[in-house]
Structure 1
Amino acid sequence: MTKLRTKLHFAFLPLIILMAAVGIYAILLTYYLVSTVEQLEYEDIRSTNAVSELITAVNRTNAGVNLIFNGYRDEGAAVIERNRDIIEQQLDKQQASATDNEAKALTEELAEAVRTHVNLVEMILDPDESIPDSYTLRREESAQQISELGGAIIERNNASIANTFNAFEIRTETFIWITIIAIFAALLLALLLSYRISDRLVHPIEEFTEKAELIGQGDFETRVSYHSNDEIGRLAQSFNHMLDRLRAYRRLLNAEITQTRMTLETIVKNLPVAFFFYDQDAQLIITNDAADHLQNAPEWKNGMPEEVNALQRQVQESHKLYAPDQLDDALILHVHNEERFFLPTVFFVEGDRSKSGVVMMLQDVTKLRLTSDLKNDLVAIVSHELKTPLTSARLSLYMLSEEQFGDLNDVQRELVATAKDDLDRQLKTIQSLLSLSKIESGSSRLERQTFHPCDLLENSARETRQAVEEAHLELQIEAAETLPDIEGDPFRLQLVLTNFISNAIKVSPEGTSIVLRAAQQDEEVRFSVIDHGPGIAPEYRSRVFNKFFRIPEQQTKGAGLGLSIAREIALAHNGEVGCESEIGKGSEFFMILPLRWDAHSDARAQMSTPAPQK
């Protein structure tokens, strides 16, 4: 099996060979040019320079002879001696530069003429030597012969240089044409390689891309039609195998989705709560039997009640969950000539435009609401009926403890004190039950005022300061004077903070501090009471505001109603309460209130004065 890499190597081999051949030819041509230039420099140019220097020296010796003839013997002799050495040196260079037979023959004739000329010049240097009448003619003829032979050698050298440069031009032109041909051949090979590579690589990749787009559109029946034994062929086989597995998985997934959808439809259809699904255009498209029962009511024949439509629009715009858990937040709707209470759960479903919308579920809590009202009425009646005799008994015990009807012994005094404490505790519990019942039923109104958060902190601290000091604790207030004013009933809100502080006193070790803090959070103010007690376990933090709940590990007195009353007061102000704690480091009980309070937005705005104690 031939690998794709090997095929690519063989495809590029002709181009590599062509480039290597051009490179080798360029190296050989460069070597030839360099060696030829060196030969020119060593032979022809050196020979030309030597002959030129030799002729110049011969002419200078003639000038020296003329000086002697003119009476300047010493000066002429010096010129002759100096140039005679130059003549010998340049003649040696010329003889060394002559490499071929023609050059050697011309050089030999030149050497003979030089020797003749030198002998004639030396005759003039010997004062005893007689100078024949033909001396000047012979000397000038020898000098002329040297000039002619030198000119012939120089002319030959110039012709050799010209021939060499002509050869340079021919070889350079040949190299240029070879390079041009090689470039065109390389381009042609590159085009052929590009076509082959695109045929072997790009075309399969394009096919893979096209098939992947089809798969992305949901077409799992397509296949890649590429058959080869190379890597792309194996990739095509793996791709088709993957498609087979995707098809099988899709069939299984479709079956599971169908089954799940049928199950969900059955669940929704049989839900005991009314189920409504609105699309993006607020059109009702899915309902169950309970919802159909509501829509068939005569009161709903003209459409959904405005309260329901308002909730749908609110969640449609905000995309936020609306799921109240208090019975007081239930919608009061008329169905089949009956007043019924429905607790709504509304949320937004994300998705594309065809699948997103709003889900609304209306849970019929009429029985729970009536039961709650009955319970509150029963608690109020029983508490009220118990309060009168217990108050009378408490008064009698106080009179006995003051020994208004005679002296008591120690045992009688202890029994009376125990009974008095038990009655006080029972009366507090009954008072708390009455207060909680009135809060939940809304039997009186809150006193709406505008006040500064620091005033609420100061009043709460003042009321609990004695208890703090008796417990050997320190109460610290942390609040900025720049906090904005808030609206609410300061008296009842003070009850919340004093309840938080009272609970903190019970769990704080001696010598520690309790922090009373207020801070702004956007359009709200957060009031906190922070202690350094043992903390609250995570499993109890969400239950501390429930009625009658007491943390098992904490041996504190009380009926467990104080935090429940605090929560109801905060809810009546459109606020909330909470607890944050860390084991071994302490707890923070907080109340968050809006700066502006809408007293009509919560039914618990009508309430009585509680006496919260945990």
Structure 2
Amino acid sequence: MLNSLKSKILSIYLFLILLISFIAGISIYNLFSLNKAIDGLIASNYKSIAAATNMIDAIERQDSNQLIYLEVDKQKGIRSFSENQSEFFLWLGKAEENITEKDEKELLNSISSNYIKYIENFSTLQEIKNTEGGLSAIAFYNNEIYPIFHSVKDDCRRLLSLNENSMLVRKDRATLNSGNMIYITVLVSVITILMGLFVSVYFTGKTIKPIDMLISGIKSIKEGNLDQEININTRDEVGVLAMEFNNMTKRLREYDKSSVNNLIAEKNKSLAIVKSISDPIVVISNDFKVILVNKSAENVFDIVEEEVSGGHFLEAINHKEVFQKIKETSENRIRIDDSRTITIIKGNKRYYFIPSVTSILNDDNEVIGMVCVFTDITHLKEVEDLKSEFISTVSHELRTPLTSIIMGTKLLLDDELLNTEQKEIINAMDEDGNQLMMLINDLLDLSKAESGKMQITLEKTSVYDMAELCIKSLYDNARSKDIEIINYVSPNLPYAYIDYNKIKSVLMNLLTNSLKFTNRGGKVEISASIEGSFIRVSVKDTGIGIPEEFHDKIFDKFSQIDNFKNHGTGLGLAIAKEFIMKHNGNIWVESKIGQGSNFMFTLPVYEG
């Protein structure tokens, strides 16, 4: 019956499953009993405890409301008293629906009757204050209302104490039962584990011996002895496996004779594909030596494959940024692909490429080489330059007449002969004109940055001082919204080597956005830390957050999230990104809806 390996293993599994099922059944029963006890512990008294606590809170607030009525604000006192009265009756009703203990009903009847007197006396208090004055009302409060207040409060506390004591009794009982259940479960588990261990060891010893013989034969095959045959004379599945393995080694010997020719053919096929690709491609070894260069790469970089093969990458293509990407790919084993372009000048023409590097891994997940592809974006760059030039020209043409319009509206606003409606119209014209002027200025800044015409004046700059200045500029705005801006940047942080005005505008833009999208009472924090040769600056807020799918899109031109539209031109972050990239830095955001946003960017450290 147990001649086959399958039947042996199934027998062991069946026995173990029965043992596990037995343990599980006992555990489930114990857990069910414990859960039932816990449910009784929590459900029986929790509602009454919550009701008593909330009734105490409500009547204490009503007592304060009466004092407010007498001493501060009559209407506010009456209104608040009425609100807390509804709250008290709500919890009183819940307590009356959940009577679980002896004497609890009598306590609730006492609370209800005394509380009704308490409410009636407050009405009497109002009449006395209106007819006899404040001193008589205070005397009535001290003599009549305050004792009833204490009586109701004491009854509520007795209700709370009654249910808490009941919970403690049930808790002790549940603890005792759970301890007994644990001892029973442990004892049964130990017995069944020992039984399962004994059966498993016995049947494993009987089954594993022929498998060991099979493993020894396989190791011999692995070492290259394809003539090895495994001799296992059993009638179970292991014997069948040994026979099939011997057939496989025979086929391997036949395949080994033809595999070399197939490998050569596949290599030639891969080479033909690489050579035919129109974008420049360079294949590099894990020690950064050039292995393969296609025809397009030869033409673009003025190199010859035979001359650069075997040499270092920088000897063939002297571009340190690309080599840095290759090193990062080799170290991190990930694809390095970003939007930064490199420029190649051939004759009087510029060519633009986006390099991407992909690692080549062997079966052990080790890097054995990298493939660097230079995607030609020259045509796209020319179109982008034409678009930027068009935007710049239009913006310049619009700015002059718009300036005249704004000046005209300001002169009209100074005219005292205008009526209210006319002033509102001219004010709207002035605001729209200023908004349009901001858009034109942003377009001009973005156009200059994208076209490469923007001048960058680098200087040694204290990030701490710059952050302090930005905070002072926005102090009134933050104060009006009750938002706290905190500067966590250390005064001892190394200097940054940046264009002060441009990076200050980036920081101001991020802080302004944080204030704009942070609710009243929130917080905005600025911090900075050293990361290698860069300083990472962080602007973190407790605002409404940004959906994850927009984390990259918000840095595109005119990009706005649907729910946040009409809050700007959609150019601020695009300009910030251009400014940061001009400093060889990066900018990104980490954010979740309802949990605020953390905008971060990197700046080069001053090394003078």
- Fold conserved between structures, TM > 0.5: yes
Alpha carbons of 1:235 and 1:550: their partners in 2 closer, same or farther (altered >3 Å)?
same
**Alignment partners' CA distance in 2, 1:471 and 1:235:** 78
Decide which of 452, 459, 462 is 1:449's aligned counterpart: 459
CA deviations on 1:231-283 (whole Å, 9 max, x unpaired) are 7xx634313325657988998xx999999989866764553322221345765
Decide which of 336, 346, 361 is 2:357's aligned counterpart: 346
The alpha carbon displacement at 1:559 in A equals: 0.7
The alpha carbon displacement at 1:345 in A equals: 2.0
Letter in 2 for 1:228: N
The percent of aligned pairs where both chains have the same amino acid is 25
Match of 1:486 in 2: 496
The alpha carbon displacement at 1:439 in A equals: 2.0
**Residue 587 (1) aligns with residue 559 (2):** no
Aligned 8 A contact 2:217 2:228 in 1 = no
Decide which of 221, 224, 230 is 2:229's aligned counterpart: 224
**Residue 363 (1) aligns with residue 372 (2):** no
Match of 2:405 in 1: 393
Aligned 8 A contact 1:207 1:224 in 2 = no
Alpha carbons of 1:364 and 1:555: their partners in 2 closer, same or farther (altered >3 Å)?
closer
CA deviations on 1:447-481 (whole Å, 9 max, x unpaired) are 32223322121111011112112223222222333
Aligned 8 A contact 1:315 1:347 in 2 = no
Aligned to 1:273, the other structure's residue is in SS state: coil
The alpha carbon displacement at 1:543 in A equals: 1.4
The alpha carbon displacement at 1:490 in A equals: 2.7
**Alignment partners' CA distance in 2, 1:286 and 1:522:** 33
Aligned to 2:282, the other structure's residue is in SS state: strand
Match of 2:277 in 1: 271
**Alignment partners' CA distance in 2, 1:597 and 1:376:** 35
**Alignment partners' CA distance in 1, 2:476 and 2:357:** 49
Letter in 2 for 1:209: S
Letter in 2 for 1:349: I
Aligned 8 A contact 2:303 2:316 in 1 = no
**Residue 331 (1) aligns with residue 343 (2):** yes
Alpha carbons of 1:432 and 1:269: their partners in 2 closer, same or farther (altered >3 Å)?
same
Q: TM-score, normalized by length of structure 1?
A: 0.55
Alpha carbons of 1:492 and 1:306: their partners in 2 closer, same or farther (altered >3 Å)?
same
**Alignment partners' CA distance in 2, 1:396 and 1:230:** 104
CA RMSD across the alignment: 4.3
Aligned 8 A contact 1:550 1:560 in 2 = yes
Letter in 2 for 1:226: N
**Alignment partners' CA distance in 2, 1:415 and 1:205:** 94
Match of 1:472 in 2: 482
Decide which of 472, 490, 504 is 2:514's aligned counterpart: 504
Alpha carbons of 1:315 and 1:483: their partners in 2 closer, same or farther (altered >3 Å)?
closer
May I ask how many residue pairs the two structures share in their alignment? 391
**Residue 430 (1) aligns with residue 435 (2):** no
Decide which of 446, 465, 471 is 1:461's aligned counterpart: 471
Letter in 2 for 1:390: L
Alpha carbons of 1:420 and 1:209: their partners in 2 closer, same or farther (altered >3 Å)?
same
Decide which of 510, 515, 520 is 2:530's aligned counterpart: 520
Task: With a CA cutoff of 8 Å and minimum separation of 6, indicate the structure with the bigger relative contact order.
Answer: 1
**Alignment partners' CA distance in 1, 2:560 and 2:319:** 40
Match of 1:239 in 2: 242
**Alignment partners' CA distance in 2, 1:466 and 1:560:** 24
Aligned to 2:469, the other structure's residue is in SS state: helix
CA deviations on 1:476-523 (whole Å, 9 max, x unpaired) are 222333322322223322211111111111111112222222333454
Alpha carbons of 1:330 and 1:324: their partners in 2 closer, same or farther (altered >3 Å)?
farther
Q: What 5-or-longer segments of structure 2 have no aligned partner?
A: 5-207
**Alignment partners' CA distance in 1, 2:538 and 2:465:** 14
Aligned 8 A contact 2:231 2:242 in 1 = no
CA deviations on 1:579-604 (whole Å, 9 max, x unpaired) are 11122121111222232379xxxxxx
Match of 1:374 in 2: 386
Match of 1:192 in 2: none
The alpha carbon displacement at 1:419 in A equals: 2.0
CA deviations on 1:298-354 (whole Å, 9 max, x unpaired) are 999976996724457656655257856445x3231428x754222222344344999
Letter in 2 for 1:442: G
The alpha carbon displacement at 1:384 in A equals: 0.7
Q: What 5-or-longer segments of structure 1 have no aligned partner?
A: 5-200, 599-614
Q: TM-score, normalized by length of structure 2?
A: 0.55
Aligned to 1:548, the other structure's residue is in SS state: coil
